[in-house]
Amino acid sequence: MSAIFEQISEALIDGMRAKVLELTQKALDEGIAPKDILNKALLTGMNEVGVLFKEGELFVPEVLVAARAMNEGIDLLKPHMNEADIEKKGKILLCTVKGDLHDIGKNLVKMMLEGAGFEVIDMGIDITPEAIVEAVKEHKPNMVGMSALLTTTMVSMKDTIEALKAAGCMDKNLKIMVGGAPVSDRFAKDIGAEYAADASSAVELANSLV
């Protein structure tokens, strides 16, 4: 049985979408539990993609292709799974901050977090502190993740944290993760957040905080 898990993982790492789907279907047809196909093949493969990306062995387009293959594989499994089979590690509200339209990095972070088993609520781009506060009240996430690519929009991360504090949202052990090219660990610490330099560090950080 482990052979097919390895084949699926390898096809995912190689970005072979059709092969991932064919093998996932084959595993289902052989009666393998969807939960095992998810955890031991698709998520294991995506985890390895994260490691290779961090090591510089894979690049953004390859990660996006792998993530898309993983998501389509998960779509094949979904009709065969109970909600309980899809173990969620935690809920993360993710966005690109007010005034900022860059979302390629944010989308990559989203795919990697989902691949690692987090439920991600993607608010999109140009999201105001007020909208984030409202979404936190509505969805009650474990973490808010904010991305900024412009030096001029980083300030919105600080404004958002202040708005969350003023609304009492930070009292409930809410974690804040920030990232994006101009953001640094020092800036994150100064505003009361945690910093992740890239998508796979974002997964490591989320795993350690949530």
Kindly list the residues in this chain that would bind ligand B1M in the complex (CB under 6 A). Answer: 60, 99-106, 108-109, 145-147, 149-152, 177-182, 196, 198-199, 202
Return the number of the residue (1 or 59) whose C-beta is nearest ligand B1M: 59
Between CA 10 and CA 30 the distance in angstroms is: 19
> C-alpha 37: how far from its chain's center?
20
Task: Name the closest residue to ligand B1M (Cβ).
Answer: 105
At closest approach, how far in Å is the CB of 16 from ligand B1M? 22
Return the number of the residue (40 or 106) whose C-beta is nearest ligand B1M: 106
| Secondary structure (3-state) at 147 | strand
At closest approach, how far in Å is the CB of 5 from ligand B1M? 27
At closest approach, how far in Å is the CB of 11 from ligand B1M? 23
At closest approach, how far in Å is the CB of 200 from ligand B1M? 8
Return the number of the residue (1 or 101) whose C-beta is nearest ligand B1M: 101
Return the number of the residue (100 or 114) whose C-beta is nearest ligand B1M: 100
Residues 6+ apart with CB under 8 A from 26: 4
Q: Which is it for the CA torsion 62, 66, 71, 73, positive or negative?
A: positive
DSSP letter (8 states) at residue 145 = E
Return the number of the residue (78 or 182) whose C-beta is nearest ligand B1M: 182
Which of 106, 103, 17 lies closest to 67, judged by CA?
Answer: 17
Between CA 49 and CA 182 the distance in angstroms is: 25
At closest approach, how far in Å is the CB of 162 from ligand B1M? 18
Residue carrying the six token digits 């894979």 = 58
